[in-house]
Chain A
Amino acid sequence: MIRTVIFILLWALFVPSFAGTALVAAPQASAQQKAAQAIPEDDKKWWKLRDKRSDIFYPHNAHLDVMEQEGDSCMLCHSYTKTDITDPKKLTQMTVIANEALKPICHSCHVEEKRAPWRCDLCHDNKEKIWPPDHRLDYKNHHGEIARQNEKYCETCHLDMNFCTDCHMRRDTSGQGYHPLGYRTLHGLESRMDPSRCGRCHNEIYCSDCHATQ
């Protein structure tokens, strides 16, 4: 009997704290909270975090002149629209959406009109975040088939032929790109082991340009 009483008392003391935790956050959320606490207070501000986003880089100074020419201002992205929302939580959520980068407006200059530099990695420094899903699995070795079927599909992102010719027409085998540094010295061994692998990218002329017998 005494054991039962002790057990009930212990249960009564501990359960509220367990229940409270469950209501506030899931176990993984509490781990996230700990991680968040490790971030200095000032760095938790949403605009600081926004700068740390790896998928978009916006050089403000580089845009000052063009913004002036276009008659735009900071308020194109940082909206100061009047609002009747008074709930700070809702307003903050709304403000985050208002401050998100405007893909169609960025792309109108950088992609559609090509009035601005159109290299994706200028703004998107993590290409994996903007890749189509089919690019994730060894796409480099299998892109030819799709490219032959629908060249336009490639051109939606790869805006000029340089992206293709950088590999398909290259002669400067300095090691940057597909092959590792020093591959020119070592390529003979691999080409003898599996000549068809070279053929995926290179035609015969590519070899005979250097290896032509007199």
Chain B
Amino acid sequence: MRMRLLLLWALLLPSLACFGGEDDWLSQSYKQSKRLPDLHHAVDIKLLDSMNPPATFELKTGRLLQCKTCHGLEKMDEIAYDKVDKLDANFLRGGPYRDFEAFCYQCHAKKDNERPNIHLLMADNGDIKKQNCLYCHEEVNEQRDKARSPSNLKLRLPIEDVCLGCHLKTPHLNALEHQEAKPKDEMKKHMQAMEKKHGIILPLAQNGKVVCVSCHSPHSDGVIDGTKNPAGKQIKGDVKKGIEYTPHSWNLIYQADKQERLEILGQINKEWLNLPYQRIKSEVLLRLPAKNGELCLSCHEFDR
């Protein structure tokens, strides 16, 4: 009997050691795993009486939120997560939504839930909107003519994380690659020379890595009146409008060039991606203009 047990144990051990990875629940349905993807909206919660979702957004008895409320796929809670067709037209009951928030605003009132643009730091009368400073800083710098030292910014989070409360870590292509980069001494020397040349700052994280604010200036024109300007002239742009693009005829050529490779990637990831090309019309809250490459060349230099 002992011998048989030993044999069974020896047979099962390898398979136990090989399986049971962290992502296994993705091959199960919600019904099986009772687990929701990260950052997923809560389910089985009761909607407020004031909330009136569209009639197609089915609720469970007692006005409880269920999968069917947001997703229009048949018996979705029985489909394994990795088999759910996220490209189905009914996955999010319509769309694609130009701004994803448009989907949320079907239940949540826009005026009560819209996130303020805290980069609009100046009131019409020229005063600082102090409540906006406090989103990132623990206290307002009352002495605007004296720029604070990097160690005394009193940020609520480390400089590399402070933007991530509102913005994605991956808001645009090539962002991740920059965030992981740590300029070497040679590049730092070039950056210092460019800071001097353009009269700007190009801050890095305490560990020397590139951060969002190395390129982006969170402060609009006139907020910091110190001897060191945070950025060049392009921060005078309209913060409300943000970055504006203009279509370009090369878009078709650009897309045709990428199509084959994107199709291969799409087949691997089961996700169809598009890479458009458009030129920047106006930019805002950058340390230097990116549309003519000045910003890039403030760090990067080439032998040839």
In the complex, residue of chain B having the shortest beta-carbon distance to the beta carbon of A18? B14
Q: A78-B174, A81-B172, A97-B258 are in contact. List 17 more A-B contacts (CB 8 A).
A: A12-B13, A20-B18, A45-B177, A46-B177, A60-B304, A61-B304, A68-B292, A75-B290, A75-B293, A76-B250, A78-B296, A83-B170, A83-B171, A93-B269, A94-B265, A97-B275, A108-B253
Which residue of chain B is the closest to A100 with respect to CB atoms? B261
The 5 closest A-B pairs by CB, nearest first: A12-B10, A16-B17, A60-B302, A59-B304, A15-B14
B157 within 8 A of A: no
Proximity bits, A1-37, B CB within 8 Å = 1, else 0: 1000100110110011001100100000000000000
Check B14 against A67 for contact (C-beta < 8 Å): no
* A140, CB-defined interface residue at 8 Å: no
Pick the residue among B14, B171, B176 that contacts A16 (CB under 8 A). Answer: B14
Per-position binary interface string of chain A over residues 60-100, scored 1 when its CB falls under 8 Å from any chain B CB and 0 otherwise: 11101001100111111011111111101011111101111
Q: Is B42 on the interface with A (CB-CB < 8 A)?
A: no
| 0/1 string, B257-275, CB within 8 A of A gives 1 | 1100110010001010101
Judge if A102 is at the interface, Cβ distance under 8 Å.
Answer: yes
Name B280-304 residues within 8 Å CB distance of A: 280, 290-293, 296-297, 302-304
Alpha-carbon distance A208/B214, docked complex (angstroms):
72
A56→B166 CA distance, assembly (Å): 39
1/0 per residue, CB under 8 A from B, across A153-175: the answer is 00000000000000000000000
Q: From the candidates A74, A78, A104, name the one contacting B253 in the complex (CB within 8 A).
A: A104
Q: Which of A5, A15, A81, A92 contacts B6 (CB 8 A)?
A: A5
Q: Which residue of A lies closest to B261 (CB)?
A: A97
Identify whether the interface residues of A are mostly helix, strand, loop, or mixed: helix
Nearest CB of chain B from residue A54's CB, rounded to whole Å: 16
Q: Which residues of B contact A (CB under 8 A)?
A: 3, 6-7, 9-10, 13-15, 17-18, 100, 168-177, 181, 250, 253-254, 256-258, 261-262, 265, 269, 271, 273, 275-277, 279-280, 290-293, 296-297, 302-304
Known contacts A16-B14, A68-B292, A86-B168: A80-B174 contact under CB 8 Å: yes
Set of chain B residues within 8 Å of A80, measured between Cβ atoms:
172-175, 290
Q: How far is the CA of A59 from the CA of B265 in the complex (A)?
A: 29
- Cα distance, A15 to B18, chains bound together (Å): 10
Within 138-188 of A, Cβ neighbours of B (below 8 Å) are at none
Give every chain B residue within 8 A of A76 (Cβ-Cβ): 250, 277
> Does A11 lie within 8 Å of B10, measured CB to CB?
yes
Q: Is the CB of B18 within 8 A of A16?
A: yes
Contact partners of A11 in chain B: CB under 8 A: 10
